[in-house]
Amino acid sequence: MSKHNIIFIGLDTHKEFHEVAYCEDQRGAEVVHDGRISSLKVSVTKLVRKFESKYPRATLHFVYEAGPCGYWIYRLITSLGHCCYVVAPSLIPKKAGERVKTDKRDAIKLAKLLKSEDLTAIYVPEPEDEAVRDLSRSREIAMKDLKDAKYQLKALLLRNNIRYPGTDNWSAKHMRWLAELILPHPTQQIVLQEFIHTIDERVRRLERLENELIHHVKLWRYYPVVKALQAMRGIRLTIAVGLIAELGDLNRFDHPRKLMSYLGLVPSEHSSGGKQRMGSITKCGNGRARRLLIEGAHTYRFSANLSKEMQQRQEGLPKQVIDIAWKAQVRLCRRYQRLIQRSKHRNTVVAAIAREMVAYIWAITKEVVLAPVNPKLRLSRVPA
């Protein structure tokens, strides 16, 4: 059995168990179903040791689908010295006539496709990068919860035909007005007070998460990139952190067009027989990063200008980064107005500006030098 060079092992992962199938690298070798194991780390380690003893001279290649269980299997297997690939479920080839789907068939299919090189591995972030991403996402969730509570309170007042006489909503004056408000029925008064308490709690929650995000980002290895990206118009701290936390190392893209395609900002195409048909953007890849870019692209509807806040964000940055940011602002502001004058829809214009922003973001990251990741520190974070 030691004559095999590579053993391809497919894992169909779930919360409670994993289905296992493997295939040898011989031509015509059949995929063997190895059974089901527990999802505990001890069981996965035991599985790896079993294949190591069965094929002592072979290289083990594991593969599983990305899902809600995270990347701990990848980190555990790589810490044991073997290759592991995580693939996106949407990129797994599927036959049109397949109507039966089971865990056993999925594991066998993964092993077979890995052997035939028909799978594309996704980028797996480092543990510390994933932790910052979780913190950035939790801050966004807190902001959404706060907006929902405010909408519910305003809906209650609208149903009772109560209007705030001022214009500065959710200011200290507005909150005092809400505290002194008396509704027609005592039960509605209870609802009003509960909404006010909920808003106060969620405001404090958002402030706590923002403070923690600011503190931990400064200790992050990608903080130089985050700081450099803030030189661009429309990219503040929260957007810069969200982009880098979602995208990770941008140096893995050797051309900005690949990054645009990864973010789903390129137009779809269906061309045949000499006819070229272009459609809307593909919207593939990371949706949150794409949405943050769209949010930043709206700021280019104004004329190019270097505000005081932007000057403060650019303090201490290299001249090359500042020059790229100013070049981006001049071009994108002019392009925004030109597309609007051509009667393009505003959403189409914003998507085009966001797509070009990606190229300047990619260029800025090339100017920032990061410290290399210590592999010993990375592997020590994986529990045995």
User: pLDDT tens across 122-166, in order?
Assistant: 999 999 999 999 999 999 999 999 999 999 999 999 999 999 998
Average pLDDT, stretch 42-50? 96
Q: What pLDDT does 272 receive?
A: 84
Burial class (CB in 10 A: 0-12, 13-18, 19+), 10: buried
Do the bridges between strand 6-13 and strand 17-24 make them parallel or antiparallel, or are there none, so unpaired? antiparallel
pLDDT tens column, 99-120: 899 999 999 999 999 999 999 9
Average pLDDT, stretch 313-323? 94
At residue 3 the predicted structure's pLDDT band, cuts being 50, 70 and 90, is: low
Give the H or E element holding residue 84: strand 83-87
**Structural domain that includes position 91:** 6-115
CA neighbor of 262 nearest in space, from 237, 238, 281 = 281
Q: Are 198 and 268 members of one domain?
A: no
Q: Are 213 and 259 members of one domain?
A: no
Tell whether the model's pLDDT for residue 378 goes beyond 70. no
Do the bridges between strand 59-65 and strand 83-87 make them parallel or antiparallel, or are there none, so unpaired? parallel
In-domain check, residue 341:
yes
Q: What pLDDT does 377 receive?
A: 39
Task: Encode burial over 189-213: b for 16+ CB neighbours within 10 A, e otherwise.
Answer: eeebeebbebbeebbebbeebeeeb
**CATH number of the domain enclosing 176:** 1.20.58
Question: Rounded CA gap, 228 and 19, in Å?
Answer: 45
At residue 271 the predicted structure's pLDDT band, cuts being 50, 70 and 90, is: confident
Name the domain count of the chain: 3
Alpha-carbon distances of 168 from 150, 183, 303, rounded to whole Å: 14, 22, 27
Alpha-carbon distances of 331 from 109, 254, 313, 326, 335, rounded to whole Å: 48, 23, 20, 9, 6
Q: Are 237 and 358 members of one domain?
A: yes
In-domain check, residue 338:
yes
pLDDT tens column, 181-193: 999 899 999 999 9
